[in-house]
Amino acid sequence: MCGIYAAVSNKSILSELINGLDNLSYRGYDSAGIAIMNGEHIERRRAQGKIDKLSHLLSTNPLDGQIGIAHTRWATHGLPNVQNAHPHMTPKVAVVHNGIIENYPALRTLLQNAGYQFESETDSETIPLLITLYLDKGLTPELAMIKALQQLEGSFALAAIFKQYPLELFAARQGSPLIVGQSVDGFSLSSDQNAMPEQTLNTCNLEDGDLARITQQQLTVTNLSGDQIQRNLIARQSQANDTSKNGFAHFMLKEIHEQPSVFKSTFAHYLEHSNTQQSQQFKKINSLTNKISRLTIVACGTSYYAGMVAKYWIESIAGVPVDLDVASEYRYRKAPIQRQAAALFISQSGETADTLAALRHAKSQGQACFSIVNVTNSTMANESDVVLPILAGREIGVASTKAFTAQLAALISVTLVLARENKLVTSTQENEFIKHLNQVDTLINQVLSHQKNIKAIAKTISLASNALYMGRGSAFPLALEGALKLKEISYIHAEAYPAGELKHGPIALVDESMPIIVVAPNDELFSKTLSNLREVASRGAKICLLSDENGITQAKDFITHHITLPTVPEALQPIIYNIPLQLLAYYTAVERKTDVDQPRNLAKSVTVE
């Protein structure tokens, strides 16, 4: 998704801006651009495609200066081409923008009627033109900026430089994140803390309604009435910002291999607290809700599927009914909200626009809101009553892997606390659970050590145009997650169904060209799934079965491929069975030579609705 990087420094700024863009690139983008104040004029360069195209352009047509703005664009309004790439500018001002200006059609008409011409199809270009309209009326840059901001509807973060103020950077935030960083050379500004340069000493999160003016020496923040606001720069926490692939071909593969240690440390984090009595955090949840009698879980994408696994766990182990919603539906669905109930929001980034809006909606309705996030200083974390961190470390691959596993570690911990609260597990049972959960890292390592077979299966799947996934019980959300991973990175159309639904439609699609991936742990539902498997086998389907040795033996006459997994207790199945599904998608994508870490059209953090 779009990213902003800007800086004002006592040094030449170009390499810092390019570096900032590189650090933003993991978010997904389709064009990039830079504008620099060269002392007299604002100059810009933009390119469609990857940042190296922009770098190439800059090597033949360089820019120099000490203050500049840069942007990676993920197209929303208008094609991903050079005209639509940011910065957008007039001779007086250049702007980079994240978010959506919802009233841009009206503003566009207003500006066109006033004689201003648009070069792009974007909503973003209304911002520099509107500011220019006020500059042309004789307003100072700060007043022109305030006037323009007051007219913008929607959510945005933006940075601007003015010809008239060649030593100042302006920034404003309404709904989209923006962070200021200070170093010995000056200031930087970004929509993503991961893009902050290593030498950053102090940071400050801007808040909604803030207008910041930044010079080499100083940060000043006002509101849109011009009143000064105190925003403190605080020492930057040291970041475990491991951005190398550590010898792996892709970040996704590296992150898949990090899962044993990530699960172990996330679970240990909660176990440590919850082993004796209750953790502070869990206590806080209970004090907010007294006793959780019903829980709403809301999320998007892979986080939503983690929530769906949790629904199975929490209902069956802790006896608490769970309402599960995709955030973009929940926020508008007008569901009656039970006062004093609890709502859980799951988000790796903590910035997903729909999940954040859903959280704000639930909060405004008096719900106790807790969030499971990876980025602990994200907007969602800041606005939740209780934050449960997943401590997965930075995830760079757009397709989420280790964050999912870490979310499951936090969610099984929540399940255990609720089960204990509801007296549905004895301490002996709880200890037994914990004993098994402490073996998860070894089990994941076991799965990771058998990749040869998965690679071979991926080779055949890579030739298909469509694939079906199926599973029952908590294997159903895994089927959904497996299909999502496959379509995200290999671009093979994949659908997932509860195995019992197959006869209600999808079986019509089954023939020899349709691989079917069946997620079927050898549990009490296995015999039911086996019947569904026979039904598709008798229609010529090529089946790949994920089960334990015993399950594979029972199905051996009907299947083409199998992935043998260790026999594990039911609660552990979602954690273990997800790993081969990730690998299957990964190797299929590698076989098809797609851009695994930055798949087309996708973004790591979806900050517009």
Residues taking part in catalysis: 2, 604
Q: Which residue, 360 or 528, has its beta carbon nearer to ligand G6P?
A: 360
Residue 108 binds ligand G6P (CB under 6 A) = no
Q: Which residue, 107 or 346, has its beta carbon nearer to ligand G6P?
A: 346
Q: How far is CA 207 from CA 152, 175, 212, 237, in A?
A: 16, 8, 10, 19
Q: Which residue, 168 or 488, has its beta carbon nearer to ligand G6P?
A: 488
Q: Which residue, 186 or 301, has its beta carbon nearer to ligand G6P?
A: 301
Q: Is 100 helix (H, G, I), strand (E, B) or coil?
A: strand
Backbone dihedral angles phi then psi of residue 360, each to the nearest 5 degrees: -65, -35
Residue of 60, 54, 61 whose CA lies nearest to 17: 54
Binding to ligand G6P (CB under 6 A) within 331-350 occurs at: 347-349
- Secondary structure of 178-200 in HEC code, one letter for each residue: CEEEEECCEEEEECCHHHCCCCC
Query: What is the residue type of 186?
Result: G
Contact 372, 198 (CB under 8 A): no
Q: Which residue, 79 or 326, has its beta carbon nearer to ligand G6P?
A: 326
Q: Which residue, 495 or 501, has its beta carbon nearer to ligand G6P?
A: 495
Residue 606 binds ligand G6P (CB under 6 A) = yes
Contact 210, 193 (CB under 8 A): no
Q: How far is CA 256 from CA 99, 119, 451, 479, in A?
A: 31, 44, 12, 18
Q: Which among 219-227, 287-295, 318-326, 394-402 is the span making contact with ligand G6P, rule CB under 6 A?
A: 394-402
Contact 588, 486 (CB under 8 A): yes
CB of 328 to ligand G6P, least distance (A): 11
CB of 171 to ligand G6P, least distance (A): 23
CB of 349 to ligand G6P, least distance (A): 3
CB of 351 to ligand G6P, least distance (A): 7
Binding to ligand G6P (CB under 6 A) within 288-327 occurs at: 300-303
**Number of neighbours of residue 431 by Cβ within 10 angstroms:** 12
Binding to ligand G6P (CB under 6 A) within 574-603 occurs at: 602-603
Contact 467, 513 (CB under 8 A): no
Rounded distance between C-alpha atoms, residue 325 and residue 359, angstroms: 12
Q: Which among 212-220, 253-261, 393-401, 440-448 is the span making contact with ligand G6P, rule CB under 6 A?
A: 393-401
Q: Which residue, 51 or 606, has its beta carbon nearer to ligand G6P?
A: 606
Contact 31, 83 (CB under 8 A): no
Residue nearest to ligand G6P (CB): 301
Tell me how many degrees the CA angle 104-108-109 measures, rounded to the nearest 5: 125
CB of 521 to ligand G6P, least distance (A): 24
Contact 120, 139 (CB under 8 A): no
CB of 255 to ligand G6P, least distance (A): 11
Residue 398 binds ligand G6P (CB under 6 A) = yes
CB of 87 to ligand G6P, least distance (A): 25
Binding to ligand G6P (CB under 6 A) within 513-532 occurs at: none
Q: How far is CA 257 from the centre of its chain?
A: 19
CB of 3 to ligand G6P, least distance (A): 14
**Number of neighbours of residue 552 by Cβ within 10 angstroms:** 18
Q: Is 397 helix (H, G, I), strand (E, B) or coil?
A: coil
**# residues contacting ligand G6P (CB under 6 A):** 17
**Number of neighbours of residue 390 by Cβ within 10 angstroms:** 30
Q: Find residue 99's DSSP bridge partners.
A: 156
CB of 483 to ligand G6P, least distance (A): 14
CB of 434 to ligand G6P, least distance (A): 27
Query: What is the residue type of 78?
Result: G
Binding mask 432-451 for ligand G6P (x = CB under 6 A): --------------------
Binding to ligand G6P (CB under 6 A) within 111-140 occurs at: none
Q: Which residue, 152 or 606, has its beta carbon nearer to ligand G6P?
A: 606
Binding to ligand G6P (CB under 6 A) within 49-78 occurs at: none
Residue 20 binds ligand G6P (CB under 6 A) = no
Residue 400 binds ligand G6P (CB under 6 A) = yes
Contact 518, 471 (CB under 8 A): yes
Rounded distance between C-alpha atoms, residue 578 and residue 591, angstroms: 20
Residue from 355, 379, 405, 564 binding ligand G6P (CB under 6 A): 355
Q: How far is CA 493 from the centre of its chain?
A: 22
Q: Which residue, 139 or 602, has its beta carbon nearer to ligand G6P?
A: 602
Residue 352 binds ligand G6P (CB under 6 A) = yes
| Percent helix / strand / coil, the chain, rounded to 5 | 40, 20, 35
Query: What is the residue type of 553?
Result: T
CB hemisphere CA count around 563 (13 angstroms): 30
Q: How far is CA 430 from the centre of its chain?
A: 32
Residue 248 CB burial class (10 angstroms; 0-12, 13-18, ≥19): middle
Q: Please give the biggest Cα pair distance in the chain.
A: 82
Backbone dihedral angles phi then psi of residue 39, each to the nearest 5 degrees: 105, -40
Residue 371 binds ligand G6P (CB under 6 A) = no
CB of 310 to ligand G6P, least distance (A): 14
Residue 391 binds ligand G6P (CB under 6 A) = no
Q: Which residue, 63 or 486, has its beta carbon nearer to ligand G6P?
A: 486
Residue 280 CB burial class (10 angstroms; 0-12, 13-18, ≥19): exposed
Q: Which residue, 398 or 486, has its beta carbon nearer to ligand G6P?
A: 398
Residues near ligand G6P (CB under 6 A) are: 300-303, 347-349, 352, 355, 398-400, 602-606
